[in-house]
């Protein structure tokens, strides 16, 4: 809106030179857009986290079957071959298991059995 050669903002304050809004409205607009961008990045990071490290469906299914994170990976014959700890719950019922040497193994949930001889700091998982 222009009166007597002076441009005014929507809020009624004089606009900045060659602009349509005042300084406080510009600051508020910038703040809103930065917050919107931050929230979008957080949503993407959370989606990536759920897909790659902490899939809630796989975690719930795991916790309904096992009490600890100490597991043994079974070979094709069903015999335990590698012992380790579950460090990640991936999509499509996949687990990330770290063995004693620090190697990561990606296995399906139906190929692991609970290793009763080991515990993670004596903790037992609590099913909610």
Q: How far is residue 58's CA from residue 52's CA, in Å, rounded to a whole number?
A: 11
Q: How far is residue 75's CA from residue 108's CA, in Å, rounded to a whole number?
A: 12
- In a structure prediction context, what are the per-residue pLDDT tens digits for the chain, which is 128 residues long? 667 778 899 999 999 988 999 999 999 999 999 999 999 999 999 888 877 778 889 999 999 999 888 999 998 888 888 999 999 999 889 999 999 899 999 999 999 999 877 655 545 554 43
* pTM listed for this prediction: 0.61
Segments making up each domain of the chain, as ranges:
2-52, 56-114
CATH number of 56-114: 2.30.30.140
What is the C-alpha end-to-end distance of the chain, expressed in Å? 59
pLDDT of residue 128: 36
Q: What is the pLDDT of residues 2-30, one digit of tens each?
A: 677 788 999 999 999 889 999 999 999 99
Could you say which DSSP state residue 55 is in? -
Could you say which DSSP state residue 117 is in? T
Residue 73: how many CB atoms within 10 A of its CB? 19
């Amino acid at each position: 809106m222009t009166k007597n050669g002076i441009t005014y903002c929507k809020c009624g304050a004089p606009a900045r030179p060659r602009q349509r809004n005042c300084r406080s409205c510009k600051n508020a607009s910038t703040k809103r857009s930065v917050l919107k961008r931050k929230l979008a990045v957080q949503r993407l990071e959370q989606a990536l986290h759920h897909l790659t490290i902490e899939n809630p469906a796989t975690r719930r299914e795991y916790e309904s079957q096992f009490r600890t994170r100490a597991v043994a990976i079974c070979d094709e014959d069903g015999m335990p071959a590698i012992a380790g700890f579950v460090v990640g719950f991936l999509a499509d019922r996949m687990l990330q298991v770290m063995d004693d040497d620090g190697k990561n193994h990606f296995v399906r949930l139906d190929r692991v059995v609970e290793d009763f001889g080991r515990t993670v700091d004596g903790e037992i998982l609590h099913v909610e």
